[in-house]
Amino acid sequence: MLSRPKLGGHRVVARVTLDVAVRREFDYLVPEELEPSVHEGTRVKVPFGPREVMGMVTAVLDESPHGNLREIIKTVGGQALVTPPILRLVRWIADYYCCAPEIAMKAVLPDAVRKEEEGWRERLYVRALPQHGEPPKLTKRQEDLWTIVEEWRELPLQELVRLAGTTSATIRKLEDKGLVSIAPQISERDPYAKEHILPTQPLELNAQQVTALESIVESMERLAKRDDDETKPGGDNVFLLHGVTGSGKTEVYLQAIAHALGQGNGAIVLVPEISLTPQTVERFKARFSQGPQQTLVAVLHSHLSAGERHDEWHKIRQGRARIVIGARSAVFAPVEPLGLVIVDEEHEHSYKQEEAPRYNARDLAVVRGQQEGAAVVLGSATPCMESYHNVQRKKYGLLSLTERVDNIQMPIVRVIDMRSAARKEKGVGIFSPQLREAILQRLEKNEQVMLFLNRRGWSSSLQCPECGFVAECPNCSVSLTYHRAAQQLMCHICGHIEAAPKKCPQTECGNVAIRFSGLGTEKVEAALEKGFPSARVKRMDSDTLKRKEDYRRILGDFRTGKIDILVGTQMIAKGLHFPNVTLVGIIHADLSLHIPDFRAGERTFQLLTQVAGRAGRGEVEGEVYVQSFTPFHPAIQYARRHDYVGFYEQEIEFRQQLNYPPVGRVALLTLRGRSEDRVKFVADHLRREMDTVAKELGEVVVAGPAPAPLLRAENFYRYQIMLRTSRMPQLSRKLSALRETFQIPDDLRLVIDIDPMSLS
């Protein structure tokens, strides 16, 4: 082998994505002394113009097409922070979601990790911990190491590495077994440290659970046997686990994870932020807190402090936590090798990130599974249309759990036609006579009631019947919501607040009989207190939750029977389990049907099914009342019958006719600016560009520009162009290119959203 000439010879080049937004990558020379420490994923400090900036090495090359390269200043941190599989995912995100590489890169590392300039905890000490009871089983190497630590009682980590001729990873194993602590002056920040967790054993599965687990296990076995050079795994590694609430999906996840660990692989569990409660986390920690598959379980979600997030992330990166449970961004957890990704409540819209990069974590889970040869399980009681469509197209395997584990029947759902109620009573009451009667009966029996309305505040608009005045937000094109307790009018888009008027503010009018219309939870609460004076009523929505612990406290009071009726927004719709709730009332089921979005029906079906699932989870059979002005709408009728497949089949016809997802795919281009005329003008120009793209590519339908459903938000006017296509990757590439060439004036902004979840 030839040695590398020292002068004027061959130099190694690193391609670097800078943290600063410049929409491209730059090449740098690697100084010879840094060559051993520069790899894909290494954090580096580089010169950029007159400044020094941080960046990430995305490739190490032999040469560069550019001349006059500058040198990397230094590397930061020991281990490469971004592993090659995650780098691959970053590239995929940048390509598919049309965003700059540095934007995609930003999403994959927590800020606390990315911004860390120096190595992590340079001076660490290893301390022997007092031991009680049975000593843990140790390998020969660990045994030797333990003997040294016992003798010294406490010594610097680096010292121990040298003395024992071992690695810090092996020492970490002792820590995981509870023999030693490794810490500087402060000890490790474990957000769940105070909780005492009792270990659990696997449950004996029922027949449907066994079938589901076996399919997942077979897939993991197949993936493990695959040679590296074989082609990527096909559809046979992704499963949709369609199971009604309480059917035991989580138990299937737990046993699938145990199998992955047994194969030497790690697992990621994605859960919507709102369901990521201590109870959820505890179920996972408890199962893997001891036994042959013992491991740490890392938790990643937005309520961790920067320090906690930093520590959790490094536990994963060091391979000490083999299981990660977290919200959307946990899809980027550096678990290696990855055997299994679970996406619970996969239909949840919160998996979509509504700022750049606008990724959907559910879809990225599938991409990661394909890239890294991991099995993927998407679980839901109401799968999204996209996932079930993929089952129909044989891209995903279907696993069904059709019954609740405890054999409890699904609740009876009664739809109440509010049109006839309105006719009979001359004007619409909040509660139909049937719902009122049902509430009375349940209260008499000391059972609990949940009432659901997806709108907070007292009423959604304030009007003057004399002059026609409507109170609107000065910044957004919406009417202001009246909050009675605060005596305020509030905009639910931008947060604008003003004092509620006592009479019509139009000076020439001044009518004192102003009218509030459109019902909110605050008014429902007041109506309950008036109509059921002996009942203890509590409201739960973002207005009543002022502090972090309020959520837990209210639910705790409800659980222990200190509350009879809980009224709330979608916050109470999901995942909660209260055995004594026998009646659920949905005050206005049509609210979500009338949003201008092709997914309105699907959302309504999902919401009704989820809310209805709160009733009758204990001994007594549950009952659900759905009040509606469009009682025969399919979304309502199929939810009434608990018929997911029926809903899917009629809904897919409508999507097919208009080539909406999941049949086609959508890219939504939104232009915004302060002048409506300018926004419109540029949008028209953009439309012509899109027509050209559509002609070149074929199979692209262009619609718009049209004012966004919410034309003005926070003082910006917004116009949209919607593209529908069956060839999204190709279209994405065209859109990325367009970003470079299409001149957008400085005072306007263009947002490209691929596979948008919200069209507002």
- As a dihedral over the C-alpha atoms of residue 334, residue 335, residue 336, residue 340, rounded to 10 degrees, the angle is -140
| Residue 346 or 590 with smaller CB distance to ligand ADP | 346
Interface characters, 382-411, with ligand ADP (x: CB under 6 A) = -----------------------x------
Instruction: Name which of Zn ion, ligand ADP, none residue 493 binds, using a CB cut-off of 5 to 8 Å depending on partner kind.
Output: Zn ion
Please choose, out of 8-16, 62-70, 249-257, 559-567, the segment that lies near ligand ADP by the rule CB under 6 A.
249-257
- Nearest approach, Cβ of residue 710 and Zn ion (Å): 10
DSSP helix/strand/coil, 386: helix
Based on the shown chain and the rule CB under 5 A, indicate whether residue 711 belongs to the binding site for Zn ion: no
d(CA 589, CA 603): 11
- Nearest approach, Cβ of residue 339 and ligand ADP (Å): 20
Based on the shown chain and the rule CB under 5 A, indicate whether residue 57 belongs to the binding site for Zn ion: no
Instruction: Starting at the earlier edge strand, list the strands of the sheet with 700-713.
Output: 700-713, 716-725, 665-673, 749-754
d(CA 755, CA 760): 14
Please choose, out of 74-82, 201-209, 489-497, 557-565, the segment that lies near ligand ADP by the rule CB under 6 A.
201-209
- As a dihedral over the C-alpha atoms of residue 136, residue 137, residue 141, residue 147, rounded to 10 degrees, the angle is 40
**DSSP per residue, 96-130:** HTT--HHHHHHHHS-HHHHT--SPS-SS-EEEEPP
Instruction: Name which of ligand ADP, Zn ion, none residue 476 binds, using a CB cut-off of 5 to 8 Å depending on partner kind.
Output: Zn ion
- Nearest approach, Cβ of residue 204 and ligand ADP (Å): 6
Instruction: Name which of Zn ion, ligand ADP, none residue 209 binds, using a CB cut-off of 5 to 8 Å depending on partner kind.
Output: ligand ADP
- Nearest approach, Cβ of residue 379 and ligand ADP (Å): 7
Based on the shown chain and the rule CB under 6 A, indicate whether residue 248 belongs to the binding site for ligand ADP: yes
- Nearest approach, Cβ of residue 682 and Zn ion (Å): 24
d(CA 66, CA 197): 57
Based on the shown chain and the rule CB under 6 A, indicate whether residue 670 belongs to the binding site for ligand ADP: no
**Interface with ligand ADP (CB under 6 A), residue from 209, 479, 544, 732:** 209
Q: What is the largest CA-CA distance in the chain?
A: 95
d(CA 218, CA 623): 40
d(CA 236, CA 253): 18
Based on the shown chain and the rule CB under 6 A, indicate whether residue 245 belongs to the binding site for ligand ADP: yes
Give the contacts of 147 (CB within 8 A, at least 6 positions apart).
none
**Interface with ligand ADP (CB under 6 A), residue from 55, 85, 233, 243:** 243
Instruction: Name which of Zn ion, ligand ADP, none residue 494 binds, using a CB cut-off of 5 to 8 Å depending on partner kind.
Output: Zn ion
Based on the shown chain and the rule CB under 6 A, indicate whether residue 272 belongs to the binding site for ligand ADP: no
Give the contacts of 452 (CB within 8 A, at least 6 positions apart).
567, 568, 569, 570, 572, 573, 584, 585, 586, 587, 611
User: Is residue 97 a contact partner of residue 358, using CB atoms and an 8 Å limit?
Assistant: yes
Based on the shown chain and the rule CB under 5 A, indicate whether residue 72 belongs to the binding site for Zn ion: no
User: Is residue 476 a contact partner of residue 710, using CB atoms and an 8 Å limit?
Assistant: yes
Q: Name the token pair of 436.
A: 């009122």
Size of the site for ligand ADP (CB under 6 A): 14
Q: Which of 11, 85, 25 is nearest to 57 (CA)?
A: 25
User: Is residue 148 a contact partner of residue 180, using CB atoms and an 8 Å limit?
Assistant: no
- Nearest approach, Cβ of residue 277 and ligand ADP (Å): 12
| Residue 527 or 572 with smaller CB distance to ligand ADP | 572
| Residue 69 or 205 with smaller CB distance to ligand ADP | 205
Size of the site for Zn ion (CB under 5 A): 7
- Nearest approach, Cβ of residue 213 and ligand ADP (Å): 10
483-542 residues in contact with Zn ion (CB under 5 A) are: 491, 493-494, 496
442-481 residues in contact with Zn ion (CB under 5 A) are: 473, 475-476
Based on the shown chain and the rule CB under 6 A, indicate whether residue 246 belongs to the binding site for ligand ADP: yes
- Nearest approach, Cβ of residue 749 and Zn ion (Å): 18
Which residue type sits at 31? P
| Residue 614 or 718 with smaller CB distance to Zn ion | 718
- Nearest approach, Cβ of residue 573 and ligand ADP (Å): 14
d(CA 460, CA 244): 34
Rg (Cα) of the chain, in Å, rounded? 29
- Nearest approach, Cβ of residue 201 and ligand ADP (Å): 11
Q: What are phi and psi of 517, to 5 degrees?
A: -135, 165
- Nearest approach, Cβ of residue 311 and ligand ADP (Å): 29
Instruction: Name which of ligand ADP, Zn ion, none residue 479 binds, using a CB cut-off of 5 to 8 Å depending on partner kind.
Output: none
Instruction: Name which of Zn ion, ligand ADP, none residue 371 binds, using a CB cut-off of 5 to 8 Å depending on partner kind.
Output: none
Based on the shown chain and the rule CB under 6 A, indicate whether residue 247 belongs to the binding site for ligand ADP: yes
294-313 residues in contact with ligand ADP (CB under 6 A) are: none
Based on the shown chain and the rule CB under 6 A, indicate whether residue 251 belongs to the binding site for ligand ADP: yes
| Residue 246 or 397 with smaller CB distance to ligand ADP | 246
> Helices in 546-667 by DSSP H: which ranges?
550-559, 600-612, 634-640, 644-658
User: Is residue 171 a contact partner of residue 124, using CB atoms and an 8 Å limit?
Assistant: no
- Nearest approach, Cβ of residue 622 and ligand ADP (Å): 15
User: Is residue 267 a contact partner of residue 324, using CB atoms and an 8 Å limit?
Assistant: yes
d(CA 323, CA 296): 7
- Nearest approach, Cβ of residue 613 and ligand ADP (Å): 9
**DSSP per residue, 708-742:** EEEEEETTEEEEEEEEEES-HHHHHHHHHHHHHHS
Please give the residue ranges that form the binding site for Zn ion (CB under 5 A).
473, 475-476, 491, 493-494, 496
- Interface residues with ligand ADP (CB under 6 A) are 203-206, 209, 243, 245-251, 405
